[in-house]
Chains A and B, each alone.
Chain A
Amino acid sequence: MKKEAKVIVIGGSWGGIKASQAILKQLPASYSIPIVMVLHRLRHFDGNLQIVFEKRVALQVTEVEEKEQLKPGYVYVAPSNYHVLLEKDQTFSLDVSELENYSRPAIDVTFTSAADAFGSNTVAILLSGASKDGSAGLKYIAERGGTVIVQDPQEAEVDTMPLAAIALVPGCQIMNSERIQAFLLSLHDH
């Protein structure tokens, strides 16, 4: 079966906001693949990540609303204090169940459900972070033939998250943010 990127899921923690901004800022407003982003933040920090991103990227940035349909040209940000899951019908489900890896939203939850919904058509990128969240989800995606990318630990502001992923997922591709950006552009249908 030919791989065709249908969703891009991005996870990060400490340093992840900065890294994801660097990656997303060159993508055109017409970018053809929906992007879902799970970034850890303080649990009761209600401040809107949407605003942080809006000014810096051409794509529409929005906080996930439950049962919303995935659309191209959008970056969907996980809301504070909810897990974000993807359904096969390309909608979002939210979940307030137990923390995973001390986190809600947890990257593993979103990554796993993305692979269940999109199989090998999933592209996952794990960025800088001071947590091990995301590794298990990345492995899950790799086992289903998806594309898995880890930010170069040398570039990452905190390398715990990338190093944990590299150790757990031997087949992952290691790239710096410039290469990740170029890769994402290469997936875009012009």
Chain B
Amino acid sequence: MKLEADALFEQAVETLIQDIHAQYGYDFSGYARASVYRRIRRFLGNKNLASIEELRKNLFQDSYFFENFLQEITVNVTEMFRDPTFFLALRENVMPILSTYPFIKIWDAGCSTGEELFSLAIILKEEGLLERTKIYATDINQKVLKQAKEGIFPLANMAAYTTAYYAAGGKTEFSSYYTSSYGSAKFDASLVKNVVFYPHNLATDSSFNEFHLILCRNVLIYFNRTLQERVFGLFDESLVSLGYLALGKKETLAMSQINGHYTCVDKSNRIYRKTT
């Protein structure tokens, strides 16, 4: 019976989550389950594994296999200038305020493979702020951080990114930011020379600095309400008074306990400002 098999699968996932936490220290207990089930089923299919039992054996015997699993379970699909109106609002409404600080600190939380980070850096450069900005780019996954540092993206995506770049108020030739070879676009390393890359787990790690702007877009959708609340608390601790918090287009502070400390300054682009 399918429903019984599903129940067993779901139980096995819970045990797996506990054991991963015990062995590797990654805590997935606060991840929204529907998405976890889907990622795991997908991973089982891609690796030709018949059951969670088989997956367990591989995961706990082979840390390299676990790294691979980690990358597949956490969603790393991203793009440059995703939601161009957001980047336009950032450029036109947030950057002028940030420019009043002598030194700017930004946290890109859950930066994944770096597409958003490079989009942000390009906007900072065009607004003349890149030289006095330090960006902390963090992710749970070391492998994607390495990719983010390299700034190499498929050349095939550049046409779409160029369109999005102009929609985000781009001021020059988009192609001036990268050199292309062998089907890849390598972005100018000077864009990320003031970026610190390091692993940070939103589920378990603490606040580590104070920022004027925190970007965390389309990361919280994978968390349950309890974990979201933890992360909001972390952001609240890490933002200066009058600092900005940018969420994904479908994410909201409205239901959170820190909502009272914030004003939504751009509802459609989900940009919040800390008021106290």
Contact = CB atoms under 8 A, between A and B. Distances in A.
Given A67-B225, A144-B3, A95 B252 contact: no
B267 interface: no
Given A79-B250, A93-B221, A87 B34 contact: yes
The 5 closest A-B pairs by CB, nearest first: A85-B34, A93-B32, A97-B75, A113-B34, A94-B221
Contact of B252 (A65, A88, A120): A65
B50 interface: no
B18 to A, nearest CB: 19
Interface in B245-276: 248-252, 255
Contacts of A117: 34
Given A65-B252, A67-B255, A145 B218 contact: no
Interface residues of A, number: 26
21 contacts: A64-B250, A66-B220, A66-B221, A67-B225, A85-B35, A94-B221, A96-B77, A96-B221, A96-B248, A98-B77, A109-B38, A113-B34, A116-B34, A117-B34, A119-B3, A119-B6, A120-B3, A143-B2, A144-B2, A144-B3, A144-B6
A103 interface: no
A169 interface: no
A120 B2 CA distance: 11
A10 interface: no
A82 B3 contact: no
Nearest to B217: A96
Contacts of B221: 66, 82, 93-96
Contacts of B3: 119-120, 144-145
Interface string A145-173: 10000000000000000000000000000
Given A87-B33, A116-B6, A144-B6, A97 B77 contact: yes
Contact of B32 (A82, A87, A145): A87
Interface centre among A65, A95, A98, A117 (most CB of B within 10 A): A95
A155 to B, nearest CB: 31
Given A67-B228, A82-B250, A98-B77, A93 B2 contact: no
Contact of A116 (B37, B224, B228): B37
Contact of B251 (A66, A86, A97): A66
A13 interface: no
B33 to A, nearest CB: 6
Contacts, number: 66
Interface in B210-250: 218, 220-222, 224-225, 228, 248-250
B39 interface: yes
Contacts of B33: 87-88
Interface of B: 2-3, 6, 32-35, 37-39, 75, 77-78, 218, 220-222, 224-225, 228, 248-252, 255
Contacts of B37: 113, 116
A120 B37 CA distance: 18
Contacts of B224: 67
Nearest to A82: B250
A117 B228 CA distance: 21
A65 B78 CA distance: 20
A119 B224 CA distance: 21
A167 B57 CA distance: 38
A112 interface: yes
B71 to A, nearest CB: 12
Contact of A85 (B38, B252, B255): B38
Interface centre among B6, B35, B78 (most CB of A within 10 A): B35
A178 to B, nearest CB: 32
Contacts of A64: 250
A177 B100 CA distance: 60
B34 A65 contact: no
Nearest to B41: A112
Given A67-B225, A143-B2, A93 B75 contact: no
